[in-house]
A and B are shown apart, each in its own frame.
Chain A
Amino acid sequence: MLNLKSTMKVLVYGTGTIATSLIEKMQAYGTHVAALVDVGRGGQTLAGGVRVFDLVSQATSHVSDLEVALICNEPYRVLDAALEVIDAGINQLIITTGGIPPLDTVRLLRRAKASGTKILGPGSMGLVVPGKLLLGFQATQFYQPGAIAIVSCSAPLGYLVAESLCQAGLGISIAIDIGQDAILGSGYQPWIEWLSQDADTQAIVLVDHALSTNPELGHICFSPLEKPVFAYVAGHTIPTPKLSEVNLTVAAQFNQSDRSRKNTTKAKITALKKNKINVAESLEQIPELIKNARLKLQP
């Protein structure tokens, strides 16, 4: 997945207060934001030495070693921005904007696959390596450094998990928000397989919920993992929504019934258990399960 270093140079693609707040937030955490692409503002330099460009290719030719791009512009311009970033040779992308028209995402993922580009998002709050690196909008105050990795589809729910782990004396090695859109650049599977090789991570917590539109968990199948994985799937008491009667065209039924069957919490938990993953019933139970697994973790 992403190749992360605490000193890596970051490009932000976006405009207005969203881009500004993203840059300030990352700078405050010590992340090296080197360039901003904001069409029409090229030539300026922002606080902290962030150089502004009109094109990504200008940024890559003037600033060496830009290793990751964060895209936070408006949904209908994300596809174009992402294609521009890929074309300029940056092959690690985090898309914080959510609600991208799905066919745009389909096109983007096709291009990403062909060019070997890794994408986190769309609709992701990014990732944080506590004490070292922030890429995105994650609220860092919930995280203490440690050895537990969190992969979630909901950053705020991830915060609650982090809070309960940190209160129990277990710190966080990395927290990743895979994103809220229905079609994602990278789901749980690649991240968890990657984390099982990560030297700083001793255990992984997967956090999902019943209202997510991502159908991946219902049929997830890991190759044998080298580290203990725990999971929390919130919302197992929520009644399964009935299919809207009006939407029932024949083709929609093939698609939806298949999707909603796999997307129930029950189906997700069954699939997780098949992969020998410990599933917590509540937030509080997560640190208990980890401690019961008798892991020797740093305080």
Chain B
Amino acid sequence: MNLLEYQAKQIFQEWGIPVLPSQCIENPSQIKQLQIPYPVVLKSQVRASGREPLGGIKFVGNTIDAIAAANAIFHQPILGEFPQVILAESQYNPTQEFFLAVVLDYELGMPVLFGSRQSGNDLQLVQEQLQKVVVEQQFSSFYARRLAIKMGLSGSLIESVAQIVEKMYRIFIQNDLDLIEINPLGIDQAGVPMALDGKIIVNDQALDRHPELAELAKQNTPVADWRDGWGRWQIFNPTGTVAVIANNLGLVATGLDLLHFNKIKAAGYLVFADDQLPGKTKQELLTALEQINQLTELEAVLLCIVGNPALAEQVAATLTEYLKIHQSICSSGDRTERPTATRAVRRATDRPTSNAMPRFVAYLSEVSGRPGSRWLSAGNLTEAIHQIHAPHSNQ
């Protein structure tokens, strides 16, 4: 979960990392109440990096310019995201700018400190000067000094930059972060550091034990994108014809390979955790089936539950119930039409006996098919794939 710059800077300030005087603006008229003396920088609060060339950062010298600039920023989406907030901040003239970050390296299973004398969003430039220190044992300040010295800093800069890195590390550990980044860290003529931009990504698995961060995240609107409304589905091909539901990612991967070998285009997948409560499974499955049914090209849903009899039972029962409800809606004739008519037309011609529902094929390792249920039961995954396009007999 990403925090926005102004939220990251609030946290920086709480931990004593220097930030510039700033103020949040929620609409252009609030510019008149600005307490910070001009000139100021107006910064669009969106999650993407590299906002300046996309019109997300503007320098202004007076109120009239500021209102116009704020108007423009509020109406300028950046990578699909409109800002809800603009951060108005004092201008600053650094003589040097550095890049600093602490990230969790999953491969090493250890936190890593990054520093570069080259800041900015040009990955290659930053990387040319990039230095790295792995925090192998319990953290102590020397790790931060080691990074500062690797970066080629000398004199009082070693200590002042190392102190910032140490604070970043403490924030990182305290809040269960995946990443904390200051880019750039400005240094003025007196050698005083200033966090000019900041990013924080909180680990989603740990979010529940940091209610204050969860609260911050809630204030941010989600980025609008075509996946909206898909819930937990991972859709990678909206025009695919088969969607996969399984109780494990490994099963999904195998199922997708088998579809590919059989020249069937997969649309996406959804995984049910093995250990969740039965009531939750039922509700989630019903929702998931409704969601996936919106895909216009969808012909079949492949369900694969292996090694979990309780979940398999639940899925079988829910599927049967779902199809029964849909059957009665269809036969009573008041079924709501799908978003596109082409699908209904195509189905009406291709499969005159079907009622425009996709076919449901299930491999449930401990549960066999039930007479009268409207889904197909398969004895293994390969058989299930073959049933996707098998002639209609028992549907």
Show the binding face of A for B, using Cβ within 8 Å: 18, 75-76, 99-106, 109-110, 138-139, 142, 152-160, 163, 180, 182-183, 207, 209-213, 215-216, 219, 234-239, 241, 245-255, 258-259, 262, 282-284
Contact A211 B253 (CB under 8 A): yes
Known A-B contacts: A103-B104, A253-B123, A284-B382. Give 8 more (CB < 8 A).
A106-B104, A211-B249, A237-B257, A249-B179, A249-B181, A250-B101, A254-B130, A282-B261
Q: A101-B206, A253-B123, A254-B114 are in contact. Are A157 and B99 (CB under 8 A)?
A: no
Q: What are the residues of chain B within 8 A of A152 when measuring CB–CB?
A: 250
Looking at A152, A160, A182, which has the most chain B CB atoms within 10 Å of its CB?
A160
A128 to chain B, nearest CB (A): 11
A101 to chain B, nearest CB (A): 4
Nearest residue (CB) in B for A105 is B109
Contact B250 A157 (CB under 8 A): yes
CA distance A212 to B105 in the complex (A): 16
Q: Which 6 A-B pairs have the closest CB atoms?
A: A154-B250, A235-B253, A157-B250, A251-B101, A139-B307, A101-B206
Contact A103 B203 (CB under 8 A): yes
CA distance A133 to B179 in the complex (A): 42
Q: A155-B248, A160-B251 are in contact. Are A183 and B109 (CB under 8 A)?
A: yes
- 17 CB < 8 A contacts A-B: A101-B209, A109-B109, A154-B249, A155-B307, A156-B306, A209-B252, A212-B249, A212-B250, A216-B107, A238-B236, A238-B256, A238-B257, A249-B199, A250-B126, A250-B181, A252-B103, A282-B258
Q: What are the residues of chain B within 8 A of A155 when measuring CB–CB?
A: 248, 307
| CB of B137 closer than 8 Å to a CB of A | yes
Contact A156 B256 (CB under 8 A): no
Contact A255 B48 (CB under 8 A): no
A51 to chain B, nearest CB (A): 26
For B244-265 the 0/1 string (1 means CB < 8 A from A) is 0011111111101110110000
Looking at B121, B179, B205, B380, which has the most chain A CB atoms within 10 Å of its CB?
B205
Q: What are the residues of chain A within 8 A of B183 when measuring CB–CB?
A: 249-251
| CB of B141 closer than 8 Å to a CB of A | no
Nearest residue (CB) in B for A211 is B249
Interface residues of B, dominant DSSP: mixed
CA distance A31 to B43 in the complex (A): 62
Q: What are the residues of chain A within 8 A of B137 when measuring CB–CB?
A: 110
Nearest residue (CB) in A for B119 is A250
Nearest residue (CB) in B for A101 is B206
CA distance A154 to B271 in the complex (A): 13
Q: What are the residues of chain B within 8 A of A239 when measuring CB–CB?
A: 236-237
Which residues B176-226 have CB closer than 8 A to chain A?
176, 178-179, 181, 183, 199, 201, 203, 205-206, 208-209, 223
Q: What are the residues of chain B within 8 A of A238 when measuring CB–CB?
A: 236, 253, 256-257
Contact A103 B173 (CB under 8 A): yes
CA distance A255 to B132 in the complex (A): 12
Q: A103-B173, A212-B249 are in contact. Are A234 and B257 (CB under 8 A)?
A: yes
B164 to chain A, nearest CB (A): 15
Nearest residue (CB) in B for A99 is B205
Q: A103-B206, A246-B79, A254-B127 are in contact. Are A110 and B250 (CB under 8 A)?
A: no
Q: What are the residues of chain B within 8 A of A158 when measuring CB–CB?
A: 250
Looking at A105, A213, A247, which has the most chain B CB atoms within 10 Å of its CB?
A247
Contact A234 B181 (CB under 8 A): no
| CB of B297 closer than 8 Å to a CB of A | no
Q: A241-B236, A282-B257 are in contact. Are A209 and B250 (CB under 8 A)?
A: yes
Which residues B87-111 have CB closer than 8 A to chain A?
99, 101, 103-107, 109-111
Q: What are the residues of chain A within 8 A of B253 when measuring CB–CB?
A: 157, 209-211, 234-235, 238
Nearest residue (CB) in B for A237 is B260
CA distance A211 to B107 in the complex (A): 15
For B39-50 the 0/1 string (1 means CB < 8 A from A) is 000000001110
Contact A160 B104 (CB under 8 A): no
Contact A75 B205 (CB under 8 A): yes
Q: What are the residues of chain B within 8 A of A247 when measuring CB–CB?
A: 2, 47, 201
B255 to chain A, nearest CB (A): 9
Contact B176 A101 (CB under 8 A): yes
B257 to chain A, nearest CB (A): 5
Looking at A75, A183, A212, A249, which has the most chain B CB atoms within 10 Å of its CB?
A249
Q: What are the residues of chain B within 8 A of A212 when measuring CB–CB?
A: 249-250
Contact B254 A209 (CB under 8 A): yes
B58 to chain A, nearest CB (A): 21
CA distance A216 to B109 in the complex (A): 11
